[in-house]
Structure 1
């Protein structure tokens, strides 16, 4: 398969919630993240071209969970065995509204 990603993707252990238009939640398995978006697998039905809300959860040293929400779009989806593979592009990521996500992306860039 030809590589179509514009940004490198790294596997991670953050919890991600994908909220579809209409409120349904998609469970994402084996997620990977990069500057341009998130990819992964799901058992849930997904459709390319659909807008989606992404909530990324970050565990603090205190054990408390905080999260940041951002918009995205499912840019591709395909069947892969018993799962659906998908790629989501971020609509906009800014330091003002997504400081933890940007910090995390910078950290994984340095770890590479």
Structure 2
């Protein structure tokens, strides 16, 4: 009985890691680049964005099983700055949902949004 419970706990832990994915290094670099171009000092979600932690565990980030960023939710984070065509945001090609609502961001629409071919939600 004890071995059975231990086995299932280990199996569950292993599956949980596989489902969440580990951040791909180029995805992390793109997010860090985005963070450097924005004034995010007051953002609770972006506070823990750094090279030493897996970007799939960062606030506002959701990854798929392959470790690609599919959701970026930085709504209501007191972020300011400019997003232009060269922003690393537009290289997150697997992004499906983007929420930047209730911040002070400036950009020319459509800017580089045409590069985000998987985007199904934008706020």
TM-score, length of structure 2 as denominator length: 0.25
Greater helix percent: which structure?
2
Find the structure with the greater CA-based Rg: 2
Greater strand percent: which structure?
1
TM-score, length of structure 1 as denominator length: 0.27
